[in-house]
Structure 1
Amino acid sequence: MGSEVQELEADYAIIGSGAMGMAFADILVEESDKTMIIVDSFAKPGGHWNIAYPFVQLHQPASFYGVSSKELSSGRIEKGGLNDGLGELSSGQEVLAYFDDVMRHQFLPSGRVQYFPMCDYRGDGRFICKVTGQHYKITVKEKTVDCTFLKTTVPANHTPNFTVEDGVRFMPLNDLPKVSEAPGGYVVIGAGKTGIDACLWLLENRVDPDKITWIVNREAWMLNRKNTQMTPEFFFETIGTQARMVESIVASTSIEDMFDRLEDSGYFVRIHKDVRPTMFHGATVSEREIEELGKIKNVVRMGHVTNISPTQITLKQGSIATTPDTVHIDCSACAIIDRGKRAIFQDDVITPQTIRPYQPVFSAAAIAHIELNYDSLEDKNRLCGLVPLPNDDTDFLFFTSAALMNQYQWSQDKDLQKWMAGNRLDGSSTLLQKIPPSDREKWAVVNRIRSNAPLAVGKLKQYQAGLCHSRDRG
């Protein structure tokens, strides 16, 4: 079975049907007559959502997630809970059902999309079906779109970088809802958004905060979810925070002072006020979530875990006691593996990556639109400057300056501006379109951004140069 290679042909081969692959394909379906073949290793579209932990949710409003042509959310404001008063956050199950619906009822009926799930892509247009063993070879007439470059690591497929001895109750976050008998306590290993989700789930299920130990190797700067709401009633939180962000950068006298000002302005938040953050992943939290997390007092700051035995957790800077009856929850996976930098447009390959902060699906949609409407590689890469994914706090410098420079490039192109204003994934442009010409207060906020953004880029470049010089000397 599958010994002969089956030949296929399409304009585009899209490798990966995760969120970015789906958002890219959606633009090709809606804005062109191109044919495409989508190859993916999972049984259903949605990428890492297929193996995410059962209680996972979007961390930002569902209203600007998914593909451009179909709304994910119902536009509801949540009432009660830790996201009270803010735009709804779709569950992982809702996201998966949404992508499946888009594939079955939009992409495939177009007659221009062939979908090959459960397949391993081997490169050079070749892939193998894991179920049948059939080998395939795609003749790609235009471009291969590699949507696996920003492959997400989740707890279910993560191998810890520390040892776990026999007799330890240890599990990935996915297995936490399977606990059938109450343990003596819980240890959450990981300081990122996954660790936060684990702690919040335990608290939501009425676990005594004193029975939770949280191993936090690095404190993180995070974003207040209230400032990510793309509806008119949140204008002064969302757009106002952007204005305060660029003003804080311009007024700062050092990198440390910049972070202080960004926190004072409401752009950044942190969970523990007594610890200086050194990490920035762009995670969002609500104010009520921060209050809830503050109930956990057993926070361990001794660096990374190196070994767990039934009676002791060894860390790089010390050790703490544990028990055989304690459940240890692995939340140490890094969401995005750093695979270096790669130009988004290269000859016959497109590698979708983020070109706007915190918005990978909008980035993929915009990249697809630019692919269809611009000719030269130079123009395409100029309009799609890479916004590098952050890890350390100082990555904010590179991340933000790249984003502001992209925004400037887009502002010089009227056709692209018009497309963005009409694309539902671009929440900020949509929000700006709704400002009445007579609303002087709101236009004053917009003008604060316009006047300070170039100055902010200059200040960030200055800090970047100093930082690179210090690293070179080090």
Structure 2
Amino acid sequence: MDTQPIETDYLVIGAGATAMAFVDTLLSETDAHVVMVDRHHRPGGHWNDAYPFVGLHQPSAFYGVNSRELSTWTKDETGLNIGMYELASGAEVLSHFDQVMRQRFLPSGRVQWFPMSEYSAGVGGTHHFKSLMNGDERQVVARRKLVNATYARTEVPSTHPPKYTVAADVNCIPLNRLPDIQGPHACYTVVGSGKTGMDACLWLLQNGVAPSRIRWIMPRDAWLLDRANTQPGAENLERTIGSTIGQFEAIAEATSIPDLFARLERRGLLVRIDKAVEPSMYRCAIISQAELEQLRRIEDIVRLGHLQSVQSTQITLDRGSLPADPDTLYIDCSARAIQMPPALPIFDGDQINLLMVRWCQPVFSAALIAYVESHVADPDEQNALCRLVPSPEHPIDWLRMWAVTLANMTSWRQNAGLNAWLSQCRLNSQNAIMRGMRPDDTAKLALLQESGAKAAAAAARLPALLATLN
């Protein structure tokens, strides 16, 4: 075992999407050396543990690392995403990050990658990692900073047990095992109301299960984004930028928080599965109208809070119990995909915390943080450019995220270097939206200018609107 400390400029804990996006930009903007440590055997973080039919719910053009396209820029001709730009599968996302590691990071000679290893902090601020395979431990000396890319702590059903009691004679599986089913069941009960629960319901419907045989335990209803409003490409610019303008107008015109969400729904900017149920959750989930139509076919939706226990003939929830068919397959989707990160500064002394700095865009955020680290020396200025955007949980977080995002965007425009980088950054959604736009297209240029003006009006209205919460 080599006992000599490894010296590097940056020690990055994790090799998930944000870590990969950060290191990718750091390599482009500096001559720094990096050590990356992760528990998985390949890059991609939670994508390694996700269910076989997982995929992005946003267009592939908005995801991955800045230096390499993930999207093929083709539109789906069949299925529930028909007519819109493709959504990369989980396997395609993993392949993307694996290629970035093997074809860009490692050949650079500036990245050392230690998979199947666990980081630990030592006495006196030292850094260590231990191999999960042979137990060997190494110390790392980070000359510049430690980069913590683990705050997302994304949970998936395969790595987290059910959050309720399951009797021994009950058949309960994580979502990952759905494709392994060998025979039919009288009833299929999906436990969980987030993106994972929606994917489970859609998979069952697409694989021939009648809606009448599906029960969906939905502790909370959610506000969802319509995918048709978030399409890249200049041919979609009027609708995509128009939806952003609509959000800004709703903020500027709203008289209260309930009025805000009513305006957003009337414009089709937020949607919900059941219009008779007020959502109490917002998690940035994106859905197509075709998917929404399929989910609305399920009538047995249980809204009695979280599941507490499952017996062969009964389920018990926070607010009551219901009978159950003994021949029920329970599909666990209760893992909490999005965790609430601590309220830490992005730049925190000799540590960088990879958290969001723009509305629902973690990989872009990580790339921008790397640019700021590379070109801005003053810690106060760094944090002024990278105010923490809170992760979403409740509907009001939709507004809170916009409040910080708009403040950050104002700061970015005032930094000439950062502004120039943004104009070239693949992960900057505006560039993907403008792809293929002619420079003399005055109508589209006017729409972009209008978006800026509407953003200023929304930013001016935001403090008073948020104050109504008190």
TM-score interval (norm. to shorter): over 0.9
> Offset at 1:242?
0.4
Asked if 1:139 is matched to 2:137, the reply is no
SS at match of 1:166: coil
The equivalent of 1:89 in structure 2 is 87
Conserved in 1, the CA contact under 8 Å of 2:189 and 2:214?
Answer: yes
Distance 1:195 1:275 in 2: 18
SS at match of 1:155: coil
Work out which of the residue numbers 154, 160, 166 in structure 2 matches 1:164.
166
Write out per-residue CA displacement over residues 286-319 of structure 1, whole angstroms, 9 at most, x where no aligned residue: 1110011111111111111111111101111112
The equivalent of 2:219 in structure 1 is 217
Distance 1:429 1:374 in 2: 23
Write out per-residue CA displacement over residues 54-101 of structure 1, whole angstroms, 9 at most, x where no aligned residue: 100011111121111111121111111000011111111111111111
Work out which of the residue numbers 273, 276, 295 in structure 1 matches 2:275.
273
Distance 1:434 1:77 in 2: 15
* Letter aligned with residue 142 of structure 1: R
Distance 1:430 1:166 in 2: 51
* Letter aligned with residue 212 of structure 1: I
Distance 1:443 1:88 in 2: 26
Work out which of the residue numbers 107, 117, 120 in structure 2 matches 1:119.
117
Work out which of the residue numbers 281, 284, 289 in structure 2 matches 1:282.
284
The equivalent of 1:327 in structure 2 is 329
> Offset at 1:340?
2.2
Asked if 1:52 is matched to 2:54, the reply is no
SS at match of 1:269: coil
Conserved in 2, the CA contact under 8 Å of 1:6 and 1:135?
Answer: no
Q: How does 1:62-461 map to 2 (within 5 A)?
A: 62-123=60-121, 124-432=126-434, 435-436=437-438, 438-461=440-463
Residues 248 and 136 (structure 1 numbering): CA distance in 2 closer, same or farther, change over 3 Å? same
Conserved in 1, the CA contact under 8 Å of 2:233 and 2:434?
Answer: no
* Letter aligned with residue 340 of structure 2: D
TM-score (norm 2): 0.96
Write out per-residue CA displacement over residues 318-369 of structure 1, whole angstroms, 9 at most, x where no aligned residue: 1211122100111111112223211000111001111111211111011001
- The alignment covers a number of residue pairs equal to 466
* Letter aligned with residue 264 of structure 2: L
Conserved in 1, the CA contact under 8 Å of 2:256 and 2:468?
Answer: no
Distance 1:437 1:107 in 2: 35
Conserved in 2, the CA contact under 8 Å of 1:9 and 1:141?
Answer: yes
Distance 2:461 2:222 in 1: 23
SS at match of 2:450: helix
> Offset at 1:466?
2.8
Residues 439 and 98 (structure 1 numbering): CA distance in 2 closer, same or farther, change over 3 Å? closer
Distance 1:245 1:265 in 2: 9
Distance 1:258 1:298 in 2: 30
Unaligned runs of 5+ residues in structure 1 are: 470-474
SS at match of 1:386: coil
Conserved in 2, the CA contact under 8 Å of 1:169 and 1:324?
Answer: no
> Offset at 1:436?
4.6
Distance 2:423 2:97 in 1: 24
* Letter aligned with residue 456 of structure 1: A
Distance 1:177 1:458 in 2: 50
Percentage identity across paired residues of the two chains: 44
Conserved in 2, the CA contact under 8 Å of 1:165 and 1:310?
Answer: yes
SS at match of 2:161: coil
Conserved in 2, the CA contact under 8 Å of 1:243 and 1:446?
Answer: no
Conserved in 2, the CA contact under 8 Å of 1:119 and 1:128?
Answer: yes
Unaligned runs of 5+ residues in structure 2 are: none
Conserved in 2, the CA contact under 8 Å of 1:5 and 1:134?
Answer: no
> Offset at 1:235?
0.4
Distance 1:422 1:137 in 2: 38
* Letter aligned with residue 7 of structure 1: P
Work out which of the residue numbers 23, 29, 36 in structure 2 matches 1:38.
36
Conserved in 2, the CA contact under 8 Å of 1:422 and 1:430?
Answer: no
* Letter aligned with residue 407 of structure 1: M
CA RMSD of aligned residues (A): 1.4
Conserved in 1, the CA contact under 8 Å of 2:7 and 2:141?
Answer: yes
SS at match of 1:157: coil
User: After the TM superposition, which of the residue ranges 174-183 and 455-464 deviates more from structure 2?
Assistant: 455-464
The equivalent of 1:472 in structure 2 is none
Conserved in 2, the CA contact under 8 Å of 1:171 and 1:328?
Answer: yes
* Letter aligned with residue 455 of structure 1: A
Conserved in 2, the CA contact under 8 Å of 1:217 and 1:301?
Answer: yes
> Offset at 1:446?
2.3
Distance 1:458 1:340 in 2: 28
Distance 2:56 2:200 in 1: 14
* Letter aligned with residue 101 of structure 1: Q
User: After the TM superposition, which of the residue ranges 55-64 and 28-37 deviates more from structure 2?
Assistant: 28-37
* Letter aligned with residue 165 of structure 2: T
Distance 2:407 2:417 in 1: 18
> Offset at 1:463?
2.8
* Letter aligned with residue 278 of structure 2: R
Write out per-residue CA displacement over residues 237-266 of structure 1, whole angstroms, 9 at most, x where no aligned residue: 111100011001111111001001011122
> Offset at 1:10?
0.4
* Letter aligned with residue 191 of structure 2: I
Residues 83 and 349 (structure 1 numbering): CA distance in 2 closer, same or farther, change over 3 Å? same
Residues 244 and 352 (structure 1 numbering): CA distance in 2 closer, same or farther, change over 3 Å? same
